[in-house]
Structure 1
Amino acid sequence: MTTPLFMLRAVQMGVTVRDLDLMTIGLVLDMFTEAQNDGYKYPDMATQSDFDRF
């Protein structure tokens, strides 16, 4: 990942340059990954019986 792409991703999430002083690169990348996963619809949700069988 290039520096301009990293900065773009940070701006897309609303992270300011001042905020970046307090964050690691890994934290920003994790935040971006989780933001992309927010809209994912998981096909199956485990029920209590699933956990009991586990």
Structure 2
Amino acid sequence: MTTALFLLRCTEIGISIADLDLLTIGLVMDMWTEKGNDGVAYDKVASQEDFDRF
């Protein structure tokens, strides 16, 4: 990933240059990935019982 692409990703999720002092590259990439998952409709969502069995 180039610097320009990284900065584009930051602006897409609303991170300012000043905020980048407080964040790691990995955290920014995780946030961008989660933004992409916001509109996903999952076929099955885990219940508390599923977590208890896990």
Range class of TM-score, shorter chain: 0.7 to 0.9
TM-score under structure 1 normalisation? 0.82
User: What is the alpha-carbon distance in structure 2 between the residues aligned to residue 45 and residue 11 of structure 1?
Assistant: 31
**CA RMSD in angstroms, aligned pairs only:** 2.0
Aligned to 1:34: 34
Between structure 1 and structure 2, the one with the greater Rg is: 1
Matches within 5 A, 1:1-54: 1-46=1-46
The DSSP-based 3-state class of the residue aligned with 1:6 is helix
User: What is the alpha-carbon distance in structure 1 between the residues aligned to residue 53 and residue 16 of structure 2?
Assistant: 47
TM-score under structure 2 normalisation? 0.82
What is the letter of the counterpart of residue 30 of structure 2? D
Q: State how many pairs are aligned.
A: 54
Name stretches of at least 5 consecutive residues in structure 1 with no aligned partner.
none
Summarize deviations over 1:8-41 as a string: whole Å, max 9, x none. 0000000000000110000000000001001000
